[in-house]
Structure 1
């Protein structure tokens, strides 16, 4: 997997290492601030706005994107939970699509490359790979061995630190969110007998902040709902989520924010196009960004934008400024105009 060193925009668009200009997505606001690469030792420092530990008897501080994902501050000094998920997804290149990828992505592949993306990253004084739990693909014949590896990992990740206890971090695909006797539980695919409990407060905030993601997952056939969460395990061995963020991806595991983005991604993929999906990180929904950057054989990349219905003058002025600064040709779909415009040849 190519290493992202910040030189991607200087590569030829036909090169697999090409990256669109960071300013076309939320990466531009956090790169170099919340994401700091050390060229000498190759270690990347990630500055997080949420805690990876908890004092006994206290609720972990509420992260920004558990307050209002749509109004996440554009200050790039710290990564929200959602931004960290976007960063790892982009590092693992699951925001990229080429025709050769068709049929080659499943949970085992995602897990492998997400864990590789976590290597060489530190946060809160810890190696990210030492606290990041991504479940193995379920296999009934290997169930006991998988459970043993899980328990060994969690016993190392969730050690006490004086009066505080470490939290681990989960990335997994949500199977269901269901009422429990007290509160709710999140069932993660490939972990059928290891539920994660949600207290009423965390469940209420999740439903309020991530209502669009939950609605898209419910309404979009073949979509997947990805959760990133911090969690601890109590004396009874029960896992409880402290904070959570959600992201919806297509059947090709490409993130999308609304049905218009899903339609564009699907249309491009069916035409055999190669493209990079922009991710929002901390950027609020009111801030325009490229939906995708299309890589065209023998031609310059093309920025593709979707303008939401009801976008005002300020939004359009920011979009014009973004397009001008990118130095890249643009394709624009104004939702208010109706059907998707003709795609590039």
Structure 2
């Protein structure tokens, strides 16, 4: 991408790009993205020692659809409900403040919370605070893993997922703590370096290790689930890349997790290649054992694109197989009863196209809401009523990938 930084035009892959951004960071001069003739104002953040150019809040729709900074209208996903309330970006400081609807501490004897979902309690989860699933969707989108282009095929692995999710968590704060300080993601397994990775994990967990009585600090974990299975005194989540550390669940939380996320577990079990992601808060006792306090699940394709149903996966697979460029809509806090765009194809003309799926058995109200979303949007629309049978032809690709 080409940017105007100060008085000079410079590409993001130029060797002097970081130095150019450093020169204007903190000044009144903002860089401009030159994806359109007039340019779009950006800001500079410093993340993990590097200068990163970022789009201004609520400016995603001002960028050209081919630009990495483009975002469809927020109301087509769950982002519109939480941006500006649960998610507050500050271009001046480069810090994003997040508000959680779940706790980062636990007092001994307090009842275990219902697994974090935002589904059964949609009145409470009104957009002012992020659910656990909302946090995972936000980081996924910030890392760019809801985006797809043909050049991404075969390039996503757990190493890549972890790297960019951790980068997305940088400069994010919640309840007075930096997100990266309380977030744990297993390192990609390497037998030769396993002891080193274990030492880093133990040190990280040691930040919240606490006695069984009194207030306990909690951490968050994001990982790919390998097993959800019985343990000697309850159940456990076994993560890939982490063979010797399991996350324990008591029977009550396990029962409610399985009930709430029956759809996700069914998709994981029934569709070959489906991956299951977990985000959870957990405590660490003096023994070093991790115990889950609250959890949410998310299913993704073998290309790490989130999906909520067989029908959504058919759309995503069809777009990917056709070499299309698109973005996957994410629910954040929205319950499944509220429709949103399944995906937005960004390679159609004269405007991107929002793709909607109406699942079989949907109410008349749901279908009407989809029609209203399509009519009120500035984007073109494509609607598949899955009960009608075969998926219609996807909107044609009119922009070179």
Q: Give yes or no for TM over 0.5.
A: yes
* Local SS of the residue matching 1:29: helix
Runs of 4+ in 1 over 6 A off after TM superposition: none
Q: What residue in structure 2 maps to residue 53 of structure 1?
A: 105
1:178-200: CA deviation from partner (whole Å, max 9, x where unpaired): 11111101100011010111000
- Would the alpha carbon gap of residues 335 and 97 (structure 1) be closer, same or farther in structure 2, given more than 3 Å must change? same
1:111-154 deviation digits (Å, cap 9, x = unpaired): 00000100111111111110000110011111110101111111
Q: Distance in 1 between matches of 2:115 and 2:314?
A: 31
- Specify which of 165, 169, 175 is matched with residue 220 of structure 2: 169
Which residue of structure 2 aligns with residue 69 of structure 1? 119
Q: Unaligned 5+ residue runs, structure 1?
A: none
> 1:202 maps to which residue?
253
2:333 and 2:169 mapped to 1: Cα distance? 19
Describe how 1:262-281 pairs up with structure 2 within 5 A: 262-281=313-332
Give RMSD over aligned pairs: 1.7
Residue 155 (structure 1) aligned with residue 219 (structure 2): no
Instruction: Answer yes or no: is the 8 Å Cα contact 2:139–2:168 preserved in 1.
Output: yes
Q: CA deviation at 1:313?
A: 2.4
Deviations 1:240-282 (A, max 9, x none): 1011100000000000000111111011001100000000011
Which has the higher mean CA deviation after the structures are superposed, 21-30 or 34-43?
34-43
SS of residue matched to 2:354 = strand
Where in structure 2 are the equivalents of 1:109-148 lying within 5 Å? Answer: 109-148=160-199
Give the distance between the partners of 2:102 and 2:159, measured in 1 at CA.
Answer: 28
TM-score by length of 2: 0.82
CA deviation digits over 1:11-40, x for unaligned, max 9?
111112110100000000000011011232
- The answer as to whether partners of 2:374 and 2:381 remain within 8 angstroms in 1 is yes
Do the aligned partners of 2:108 and 2:215 also contact (CA within 8 Å) in 1? yes
State yes or no: 1:9 paired with 2:61.
yes
**SS at 1:89's partner residue?**
helix
Unaligned 5+ segments in structure 2 are: 1-51, 397-401
Moved more, 307-316 or 94-103: 307-316
Select the structure of larger CA radius of gyration: 2
User: Relative to structure 2, which stretch is displaced further, 34-43 or 333-342?
Assistant: 34-43
Shift of 1:326: 1.3
**Quick check: 1:249–1:256 contact (8 Å CA) kept in 2?**
yes
Summarize the alignment of residues 244-259 of structure 1 with structure 2, pairs less than 5 Å apart.
Answer: 244-259=295-310
Indicate yes or no: 2:55 matched with 1:18.
no
Distance 2:72 2:60 in 1: 7
SS at match of 1:3: strand
Q: Contact (CA 8 Å) 2:77, 2:341: kept in 1 or not? A: yes
Task: From the two aligned structures, give the one with the greater helix fraction.
Answer: 1
Tell me the TM-score normalized by structure 1. 0.95
Measure, in 2, the Cα distance between the counterparts of 1:28 and 1:199.
Answer: 35
**Is the 1:82–1:246 contact (alpha carbons within 8 Å) kept by the matching residues of 2?**
yes
How many residues are treated as equivalent by the alignment?
Answer: 342
Q: Equivalent residues in 2 for 1:26-45 (5 A)?
A: 26-45=78-97
Residue of structure 2 equivalent to 1:292: 343
SS of match in other structure, 2:161: helix
Determine the C-alpha separation between the residues in 2 that align with 1:60 and 1:319.
37
Structure 1 contact 158–168 (Cα < 8 Å) conserved: no
Kindly provide the CA deviation profile for residues 50-87 of structure 1, in whole angstroms up to 9, marking residues without a partner as x.
0011113334544652xx63653451101011111100
Contact 1:14–1:297 at 8 Å: present in 2 too? no
